[in-house]
Chain A
C-alpha cells in the first residue's frame, strides 16, 4: 500500500496530520513536509497494512481531496 499526495491540489491544511501523524507532518513553515521531497506528486514508499485505517481517515478528511491510497 502506498499513499500519493497531489501537491498541486494540497493546500497545506494539515488535517491529515491529526488523522495519521505517523505518516503526515507539517514542516516549520507550516507546509506539508512532503513538499521538501517532491514538487508535484508525492509517492510514498510501501507502507504497512496496519496504517490503512488512519490513512483512509486522512484521505477522507483532506479538504482538497489531494490524498489517494494505492493498493
Chain B
C-alpha cells in the first residue's frame, strides 16, 4: 500500500514524519534525504560545532517517534515526481509510491559568479561543509566572509572568537539590514566592529585573487581584503527541481495555501525553508520564512494535518504561527518574534526599551499594529514582548 513519503531529511522533514507517526497514521512513513547523515541541527555549524569542534552526535536531532514508525533512508536524491500517479523517482533508478507527500528539501547556498581560485572558497550549509571548513582553516590567518546576513554575521563572530582576523564584505551599508532595519543594524555594526570584525560594506566583491588558493578579495570600489580563506554567505536557491513538470508554482520555493498544501491537494504539503505560504495572522501574502523555529512549526503542522486528512478525511484549521528567530553573536543574543522584516519605513521602527548601543528592544509597526519585535539581550523579557505582538495582531485581525 502506498504510504507517505517525506522528501528531505532535515529539521522540517523529521518533524513532519514524527508528527505524522504520532497522529496514529498507519500507512507507512518513509523519510528520504540525500545527505549521508541522519537529520542534524544546522545552527551549531556556525557556532558551537565550529568553536568546540563538536562531533556529529552532538548535533544530531532527536526524534520523537517510536522506533520503527519512520523508515529513514539517507543518501538518496529525489530527481522527479509524478503527482498525478503518486510516484517519486530517485537517482539510483528506484521509485516510491505515495498517497501523501511532504516536500522538505530546503535550500542550497548560492555562489557568486566572480573569478576565484579552485580551493579555499567555501559555503556553509551542511555537516560536510563544516568538515571542509575545519580542514581548510589550518594555517589561515585572515578570513573573508561575503554576505552580512545572519549566517555571515554569526560565522564572523565565531571565527573572530577563534582568533582569526575576519572581514565581512557586503553591498548593504549595515549588517542584517533586511531583517533588522538601518538603526539596529547600525548598532550591531558598531558592536561587532569593536569586537574586531572588519566590515567592508556598501561594496561588491569583483574578484577573489590568488593562484591555487585565495590571497585577497578585491571590491568594485578598489578596496581589497586579505584572506587565505573565503566563505560565501550570499543567500540561497530553493531545492525544487525534483517537483518540476507538475504544473506547480516554483519560482521562489513551493507556493502553498494557508494549510501548507500545494497543487490544490491537501495530501501534498511543503514545510521548512522551501515552503512559501501565507500566514493569515499577518496578511495573505505567501512568503518563505528561513527560521529554524518555522521548520519545526511547519513540520509539526504538516504531519498532524496529513495524518488527520488521511485517516478521517478532515482538514486542520489554517496554519498561523508566531515566527520566532534567534541568533547568538559574541555575547549578544538577538531574538525576534513576528515579522520585523515586513517593516522598512524607519519611522515605523521604534525603540521600546533600553538603548541601541546596549541591550535594546525594538518594535516594528505596520499602521498601529506591532508586527514584530527584536530583542538584543533583555532575555528575561521575551515572553512579554512575544505576547505583545500576538495581542496586537489579534486586535488588528478582529478590527479589520
Contact = CB atoms under 8 A, between A and B. Distances in A.
Interface of A: 11-15, 17-18, 26, 28-30, 56-57, 59-61, 63, 65, 68-69
B177 interface: no
A63 B378 CA distance: 18
B326 A26 contact: no
Nearest to A28: B380
Interface in B6-65: 15, 18, 22, 41, 43, 60-62, 64
Contact of A68 (B18, B62, B292, B382): B62
Interface residues of B, number: 24
B326 A63 contact: yes
Contacts of B383: 14, 17-18, 26
Given A13-B326, A56-B64, A63 B379 contact: no
Interface of B: 15, 18, 22, 41, 43, 60-62, 64, 292-293, 296-297, 300, 324, 326, 328, 378-383, 386
A60 B379 contact: no
A41 to B, nearest CB: 15
B324 A15 contact: yes
A14 B382 contact: yes
26 contacts: A13-B326, A14-B382, A14-B383, A15-B324, A18-B324, A18-B383, A18-B386, A26-B379, A28-B380, A29-B380, A30-B379, A30-B380, A30-B381, A56-B22, A56-B64, A57-B300, A59-B62, A59-B64, A60-B18, A60-B296, A61-B293, A61-B296, A63-B293, A65-B41, A65-B60, A68-B62
Contacts of B64: 56, 59-60, 69
A6 to B, nearest CB: 11
A12 B18 CA distance: 25
A14 B296 CA distance: 15
A49 to B, nearest CB: 14
Contacts of A28: 380
A55 to B, nearest CB: 10
Given A11-B328, A56-B64, A63-B292, 4 more contacts: A14-B379, A59-B62, A59-B64, A63-B293
